[in-house]
Chains A and B, each alone.
Chain A
Amino acid sequence: MMTMTRMPTLAIHDFLIDLFFRRPADSDVGVGWGTDGLFIFIWWVGVFFFVLLMALMGWWAWKYRRIPGKAAEPSPSHNTALEITWTVIPTLILVVIIFWGYNGYLRAQMPEGNAEQIDLTAYKWGWGMTYDTGLGADETVPLGSSEVPVFYMLLKMSSQDVIHSFWVPDFRTKLDVIPNRFTPYSFRTLPLEDSDNRVQTRTVQIADSVRENVRYRDHWIFCAEYCGDLHSEMGAIMRVVSKEDFEWWKSVPRYGASTNPVEVGEKVYIASGCATCHSVDGSAGTGPTWYQVYNRPVPFADGSELSQAEIDADPLAWDNYIRESILYPAAKIHAGYANQMPSYDGRLSDVELRGLIAYIRSLSGLDVETENIPGFEQLDEAAESPQASIDAQTNGES
């Protein structure tokens, strides 16, 4: 039906689209006769009626201004034909708008054909994606996408905590992300065209692999449902690339043959959203900083602490504390901070967990050997059961 055909092109329409949206829509739902077209139509209807009414108001306010001693001329106080006309005509226009809007809405809600499904998780305060290969996010902005004229994308979205809303303004659609429920957000992006001056080219390096001339276009993602302190900071970038580039990007092994845990940890720090709340240079944030904290005492919100004595007695005490806090953050809350860290249980592999711990250790200026790291193998056996520590915590708190 009304897919990617353009509206009758008038210079004024291009101007209006620039004025309102900065650029035409980049999804098939928004472009052409879709959302942008409907918006322009409503704009013209509004302008017509507004100018007409205000002109009449202004003209009559001047023409019939009060002249002392002169009475108002008699005039009818109702006119059935006129009243019916100005009821019926707007009604008809509104019916057109209703159906036009309904049509666009259905197309936005219904994924077509072979849409690639990506799992999206929203949490306070960031986004996480998991692709069908099990791959998580990457790069300094945690999202990537694929696009091609016959390729579709479906996001299966869920929230870890409160209601968020996934909005890509350039795609002209959003959908709320609700806890305990999956909501589907689907879109079909437009091709990357050479004439589009937002398309850029770069060289991508992931571990040992390099790919050149990757063309891409960036779009903002914003959270559009109030979710607390850092609602404003819960943005991200949707990067649109070609299908070949996307398949390459998905398939490249992330951590290469020679795995450096600190590098792994640094990548995970950025990709999994830790950077939103934890700084690595000592500056304050929503969560405790990671700088110079390894193997130091930790005060907890309930008054207890991980003391220096405990750390000295058990070389893995601090590592186990960090591992537990990543997977079950509510178990021990650092004093002075609120219990609002999302859980990463099920979202990080052991390689990534170990990497994070190594990275934190490296931020304290301590050496981290790249191979045969003592104690790493023993981590799983020695770790105390997280559930037991949660029970201890809950019963202690009452």
Chain B
Amino acid sequence: MTTVDRGLDHLQGGHDEHHDVPYLTAKGGPIATVWDWMTTVDHKKIGVMYLFSVLFMFFLGGVAALMLRIELFEPTRQTAAGLTGAAFAGGEGSSVGAVGKFYNTVMTMHGAIMVFMFIVPGIPASLGNFFLPLQLGAKDVAFPRMNLASWYIYVFGSFFGVYVILTGVVDTCWTVSSPYSTSTTGQPQFIAMILAVFVLGFSSIFTGLNFIVTVHKLRAPGMGWFDMPLFIWALYATSIIQVLATPVIGVTFLLLLFERLFQIGIFDPGLGGDPVLFQHFFWFYSHPVVYVMILPAMGIISEVLAVHSRKRLFGYRAIAFSSLAIAAVSFLVWGHHMFTSQGELAATIFSALTFLVAIPTAVKVFNWIATLYKGSIALTTPMLYAMQFLFLFSIGGLTGLPLGALSTDLHLHDSYFVVAHFHYVMFGGTVIAFLAGIHHWWPKMFGRMYNEFWAKIASLIVFVGFNLTFFTQFFLGTQGMPRRYASYVDDFQLLHQISTVGSFILAAGFFVHLFVFIHSLVVGERAGQNPWGGLTLEWETDPVPLEHNFRHEPVVRHGPYDFESVVPPGCDEKEFPLPPKDEVRTIH
């Protein structure tokens, strides 16, 4: 296999448009390099910065989760009492209350960090920013400066938010339900957290806006809508949701802010307001946002499955249209978070619509599995993670059925069953797909391979740890364990203990990944241009893409998954052979 080895130490003094260098090239001394990264409008650098930040946020949220699981090892509150110290005291002499506030504060931190600072920006801001223009054959996104602004807004909002939660006593949970949130103590911190989320919303809107315009106007010549990779379709659908749904959480939090500051009486029943109205406003955004979380993940799975099984995706158009359908229907189902607090007619309508959104999702899973048929499947780390996704996301999706059905939801609402369900889809779905995407595109982003063996070991540890942690929680939920509890009745202890052990195994798996990544960046073997044999445009760039991405403007002459008729660029034909000509039938 021929490779184009440009290397990372190809130093040039300055550059102009005619002499392009790999985007990771240092610009001079350390200060000049830092300044270059801080002022860059290059989507690749911004994507890398986002990648490191969201993974750091994942780490913070994960530490919070481990603290919760330690507390839940014992049925009573004693564990945290020993750890809490005076930092989270709720009142002199009130040790029980202090522990209560401590647990609830850490729980709020876990939710808020994971949702707003990790998973919503997550894939779109990191892998999306890096690869959307590359896959479209563009030199950058439509509004590069807006991209940098979105990054800075994210940093500002996140820093602010984490600082507030760490130093304050915000214990409202990430859903900030009224009237608890309008009457709990800690006014300055609460207001600051509201503002942090409001600010983060703009980061999300800017990213979405950028992507939509890029997809419309910056595709390479020859790339029609149905020649786009499915990752792009997924990001496009995601961006539509981001642009339309985020303003609603903005105005919701603005109203909540005024409620706290001036008691305007909109959500607080003591002032004549309606607490269920808050829930409607809140979930009108927060339900579509879960599709912001999962759609890009599904896009990654489409890519990874196609490339690592060397197979055209089954039902390309079905997958593309189902992404749009999911985005559209996602705006209609928010009430299924409120079956126990809203009226009967509303509940019935929302239940029916919730099942409607399940259908395109199921169709996607069927299409992915069908893609494997008669493929040439390499069990690389990305492929292993893609298969894990199919396993875990199926469980997550199927456990959504009893939650969408009204009578079973009356039992399961606000129980550990819900906690298990959403961790299976958000963690077992999005995070696993994120890991698949990182491993799939790692050689392209950094020009280095990682240690396959240890990466696979890590993925196995993650899989085992994840299932131990969260599978038991389904049973906790059906048996009656409510969520957001720091202590519980003795009956539930064994399942909780298994879950806690699992969470530490899970954490260990991530640490192995961390070491693999660091090792790769420092001494990893240099990657070729196209180690997996992909056919989408990002694999036509140099092993580490140049600053302006392509050497010549790409012209699209084949579909993104035409493995049966095209040798992947930069690859040896022996390694990625085509089927013999006489076996290639005309297939649509």
Contact = CB atoms under 8 A, between A and B. Distances in A.
State if A and B touch, Cβ cutoff 8 Å.
yes
Interface of A: 19-22, 29-30, 34-35, 38-39, 42, 45-46, 49-50, 53-54, 56-57, 60-61, 64-78, 82-83, 86-87, 90-91, 94-95, 97-98, 100-109, 161-163, 165, 167, 169-170, 172-176, 178-181, 183, 220, 222-233, 235, 284-288, 335-338
A384 to B, nearest CB: 25
Interface in B516-553: none
Given A65-B379, A102-B351, A162 B314 contact: no
Given A53-B369, A77-B588, A87-B359, 8 more contacts: A21-B479, A74-B374, A77-B315, A98-B351, A105-B339, A105-B348, A163-B179, A226-B483
Interface residues on B, range: 35 or more
Contacts of B77: 232
Nearest to B340: A176
Contact of A102 (B104, B269, B348, B374): B348
Nearest to B339: A105
Contact of A61 (B310, B374, B387): B387
Instruction: Identify the 7 closest CB pairs spanning chains A and B, nearest first.
Output: A104-B407, A169-B480, A101-B405, A229-B100, A336-B92, A105-B406, A180-B269
B372 A61 contact: yes
Interface in B485-500: 485-489, 491
Contacts of B574: 69
A100 B407 contact: yes
B374 A163 contact: no
Contact of B405 (A38, A183, A223): A38
B486 A232 contact: yes
Contacts of B405: 38, 42, 97-98, 100-101
Given A172-B410, A226-B173, A77 B94 contact: no
Contacts of A170: 480
A76 B587 contact: yes
A230 B96 contact: yes
Contacts, number: 317
A180 B270 contact: yes
A72 B376 contact: yes
Contacts of A90: 358-359, 362
B373 A75 contact: yes
A235 B480 CA distance: 12
Nearest to B480: A169
Given A21-B479, A174-B414, A286-B96, A228 B583 contact: no
Interface in B18-47: none
B94 A284 contact: yes
B486 A71 contact: no
A50 B370 CA distance: 14
Interface string B372-410: 111111110000000100110011001101101111111
B478 A39 contact: yes
A336 B95 CA distance: 12
A108 B406 CA distance: 10
Given A39-B402, A54-B394, A75-B373, A161 B475 contact: no
Nearest to A226: B484
A72 B579 contact: yes
A229 B377 contact: no
Contacts of A286: 90-91, 94, 96-97
28 contacts: A42-B405, A57-B372, A66-B377, A67-B376, A69-B574, A71-B376, A71-B580, A74-B587, A75-B374, A75-B587, A77-B587, A94-B359, A95-B355, A101-B404, A103-B407, A104-B408, A105-B339, A105-B407, A109-B344, A163-B341, A220-B480, A225-B177, A226-B175, A232-B486, A233-B487, A286-B90, A286-B91, A338-B94
B101 to A, nearest CB: 5
A14 to B, nearest CB: 15
A165 B318 CA distance: 41
Which of B104, B344, B348, B480 has most chain A Cβ within 10 Å? B480
Contacts of B413: 165, 174, 224
Contacts of B316: 77-78
A21 B93 CA distance: 39
B179 A338 contact: no
Contacts of A82: 370
Contacts of B340: 165, 174-176
Nearest to B583: A74
B554 interface: no
Interface in B454-489: 475, 478-480, 482-489
B93 A61 contact: no
B159 interface: no
A337 B583 CA distance: 81
Nearest to B104: A229
Contacts of B563: 72
Contacts of B362: 86, 90
B316 to A, nearest CB: 7
Given A42-B401, A65-B379, A336-B91, A83 B315 contact: yes
Contacts of A34: 407
Contacts of A220: 480, 489
A108 B409 CA distance: 12
Given A67-B376, A163-B180, A108 B407 contact: yes
A135 to B, nearest CB: 28
Contacts of A70: 376, 577
B248 interface: no
Nearest to B399: A46
A288 B366 CA distance: 61
B365 interface: yes
A286 B90 CA distance: 9
B16 interface: no
B376 A64 contact: yes
Contacts of A176: 340-341
Contact of B579 (A39, A71, A109, A173): A71
A35 B480 CA distance: 14
Contacts of B407: 29, 34-35, 38, 100-105, 107-108, 172
Nearest to A301: B91
Contacts of B487: 232-233
A38 B408 contact: yes
B179 to A, nearest CB: 5
Contacts of A336: 91-94
B410 A74 contact: no
B401 A226 contact: no
Given A72-B310, A83-B363, A176-B340, A20 B489 contact: no
Interface string B193-208: 0000000000000000
B394 A72 contact: no
B293 interface: no
A143 to B, nearest CB: 16
Nearest to A288: B93
Contacts of B232: none
B69 interface: no
